[in-house]
Amino acid sequence: MSLLRQLPVSDDLSVSVYADRVIGPGRAYAEESDSALLNRQAFAMSISAEEPDEFVDWCRMNEPELLVDGGHSFVPRWAYGRYLRQSTQARALDFGDSLTRITGRVTDAAREGDVWRLVVQRPGHAPETHRHDVVVLALGSSPPADPYRLEGTERYTQDPYPVDGWLPSVLAGNTAAVIGTGLSAIDVALAVRARNWAGRLLMASRQGVLPDVRSDLEPMDFDPDVGALIRRVRLKHGGLEWEDVTNIVDYLAVGEGLRRSEVRAAFRAISEPAGARLAGFSGRPASIAPEVQRLVICVAQYYANDLWSAMTRSARSAMVATAHVPFQALANPLPARSAQVLGDMVVDGALTVRHGVRDVAPSATGLVVSSAVGDEAVEYVVNATRTPAGAPSGAAASLVSSLVYAGTARRNPYGGLRVNVDDNAIIGRDGASVPGLYALGEIASGDLYYISSIAKIRRRARAVARSIAEQVGPVPVPVPAAPVAVSGG
């Protein structure tokens, strides 16, 4: 939708959108419940990089009561879904006959001379072939994981979205568990609380790490030329070692008046199992270290991709092993309102957080969760764990495999497919950008560390839109239209 929003409307450009469901807000924004909030403030959620206030303006026009804190408000996901729907409808009118929407699954993409040949499976139809000059893969987020091999088990839901899929079953019982302690697990807890469920929810994961609570400090305005620093270290050593990365982050911290020890302490504290911390949220939820959180958000927003792409293989391994989990927990904090609800639930005995989960197994009456405190029986389990970023969903699997098998694309050991970090072009077996093939969203993760928030997607989508606009160029009439395909919703 962000790409569509940012592509030029031109008689010389025709666009086809392929999606295996009705094109709409998708998994993240289809929830109707008021309890499911965006995890970014409204000001970060426009799908247009050139009109960053677009979503706030949409709220002002359509749902002004949601902007309790102006652009800093966390609004419900349903409102964002409506914004996306309306934006897409408006774009469809702009494009008119130049936009075609095809409900079907793209299972193969291959270069045929100067064009791409897509194979599309539509329910009840024989496979169809469509041809386009440019293809953009926007295949969505990685699917839920199944760490305890429970898919298909009774009283178990593999995907927490949509919430309505499992909510009636949980509400009908007295005990349930959610596996995972990330933002999706928190959505599960908030959803049962919003329905005044009187039962007891166990939230359990291996490490028990929960996101930090969003502080209300203004974003950092400190803006040193980290690019120059990275270039200097690269010239000297060929790539950033993990020590170089921590030195650069320390340098940024010092610029904010923070000591290295404070940054280290915040990373250690957020890595601790969060059960005990949650009870304190009932009073006034607070960040573990507001200034460190602000620094980490700034690094995530502005520097993480540059740092990551300059890092050596061993530096990346060190990052994944030591800093990735606490970095994510600090960089993606919870709205304070949500943290307070969780705190109240803990104080009431409605929510218990466990760490050290070893197993979740079916039993005669439901399932048993084995954690650091022993075995606990529950009537229902909702899974909120995810496969690593960039793992293709069921819908995307065949297309991604066909591209990799043919050597058109390469898998990235840290995520989805290899991409050129400058313009999101897919990198092929020979290490060069593949002409006319781009990736957006999580499938582009691996070369890019931080890719899937809307704030990132919109900037990357603008870069891809610009490349396409350049490729299409000001074509003189009456040369026929140059078609573009966007695969995925």
Ligand X SMILES: Cc1cc2nc3c(=O)[nH]c(=O)nc-3n(C[C@H](O)[C@H](O)[C@H](O)COP(=O)(O)OP(=O)(O)OC[C@H]3O[C@@H](n4cnc5c(N)ncnc54)[C@H](O)[C@@H]3O)c2cc1C
From the list 12-20, 233-241, 347-355, 363-371, the region that binds ligand X by CB under 6 A is 12-20
CA distance linking residue 296 with residue 294, whole number of Å: 6
Take residue 133 and report the two structure tokens written for it: 């000059």
Q: Which is nearer to ligand X, 26 or 356 (CB)?
A: 26
Q: In the window 109-168, what residues touch ligand X (CB under 6 A)? A: 138-141, 161
Q: Minimum Å distance from CB 378 to ligand X?
A: 23
* CA angle (233, 239, 240) in 5-degree steps: 70
Q: Minimum Å distance from CB 133 to ligand X?
A: 19
Q: How far is CA 216 from CA 182, 287, 341, in A?
A: 21, 9, 18
Q: In the window 366-425, what residues touch ligand X (CB under 6 A)? A: 393, 395-396, 399
Nearest C-alpha neighbor of 159 from the set 132, 188, 133, 181: 188
Q: Which is nearer to ligand X, 215 or 332 (CB)?
A: 332
Instruction: Return the half-sphere exposure (C-beta side, CA atoms, 13 A cut-off) of residue 96.
Output: 5
Q: Which of 6, 35, 40, 273 binds ligand X (CB under 6 A)?
A: 40
Q: Which of 7, 19, 403, 486 binds ligand X (CB under 6 A)?
A: 19
Q: Which is nearer to ligand X, 394 or 480 (CB)?
A: 394
Element counts in the chain: helices (H) and strands (E):
16, 17
CA distance linking residue 336 with residue 290, whole number of Å: 12
Question: Given the structure tokens 């140059």, which residue do they identify?
Answer: 482
Task: Say if CB 334 and CB 39 are below 8 A apart.
Answer: yes
Q: Which of 47, 106, 136, 341 binds ligand X (CB under 6 A)?
A: 106
Q: In a 10 Å sphere around its CB, with 0-12 CB exposed, 13-18 middle and 19+ buried, how is residue 56 labelled?
A: buried
DSSP annotation string for 196-221: T--SEEEEE-SS---PPBPP-PPPP-
Q: Which is nearer to ligand X, 13 or 118 (CB)?
A: 118
Q: Which is nearer to ligand X, 428 or 488 (CB)?
A: 488
Interhelix angle 260-270/242-255, rounded to 10 degrees, is 110
Mark out the alpha helices in 47-182 (DSSP H runs): 54-62, 77-95, 167-171
Q: In the window 201-230, what residues touch ligand X (CB under 6 A)? A: none
Long-range Cβ contact pairs of 218-221 (< 8 A, separation 24 or more)? 219/294, 219/297, 219/298, 220/256, 220/294, 220/295, 220/297, 220/298
CA distance linking residue 32 with residue 77, whole number of Å: 7
CA distance linking residue 472 with residue 464, whole number of Å: 12
Q: Minimum Å distance from CB 123 to ligand X?
A: 12
CA distance linking residue 345 with residue 200, whole number of Å: 9
Q: Which of 4, 17, 38, 209 binds ligand X (CB under 6 A)?
A: 38
Q: Which of 8, 9, 21, 321 binds ligand X (CB under 6 A)?
A: 21
Q: Which of 28, 186, 263, 444 binds ligand X (CB under 6 A)?
A: 28
CA distance linking residue 465 with residue 458, whole number of Å: 10
Q: Minimum Å distance from CB 455 to ligand X?
A: 6
Q: Minimum Å distance from CB 449 to ligand X?
A: 15
Q: Which of 10, 12, 26, 471 binds ligand X (CB under 6 A)?
A: 26
452 binds ligand X (CB under 6 A): yes
Q: Minimum Å distance from CB 471 to ligand X?
A: 22
| Chain residue whose CB lies nearest ligand X | 26
Q: Minimum Å distance from CB 127 to ligand X?
A: 13
Q: In the window 345-364, what residues touch ligand X (CB under 6 A)? A: none
From the list 34-42, 52-60, 341-349, 350-358, the region that binds ligand X by CB under 6 A is 34-42
Q: Minimum Å distance from CB 240 to ligand X?
A: 27
CA distance linking residue 284 with residue 340, whole number of Å: 7
Q: Which is nearer to ligand X, 143 or 436 (CB)?
A: 143
Q: Which is nearer to ligand X, 326 or 489 (CB)?
A: 489
CA distance linking residue 356 with residue 274, whole number of Å: 12
Contacts with ligand X by CB under 6 A: the residue count is: 29
Q: Minimum Å distance from CB 324 to ligand X?
A: 17
Q: Which of 20, 54, 244, 379 binds ligand X (CB under 6 A)?
A: 20
Q: Which is nearer to ligand X, 42 or 202 (CB)?
A: 42
Q: Give residues in contact with ligand X (CB under 6 A).
A: 18-21, 26-28, 38-40, 105-106, 138-141, 161, 184, 393, 395-396, 399, 441, 452-454, 487-489
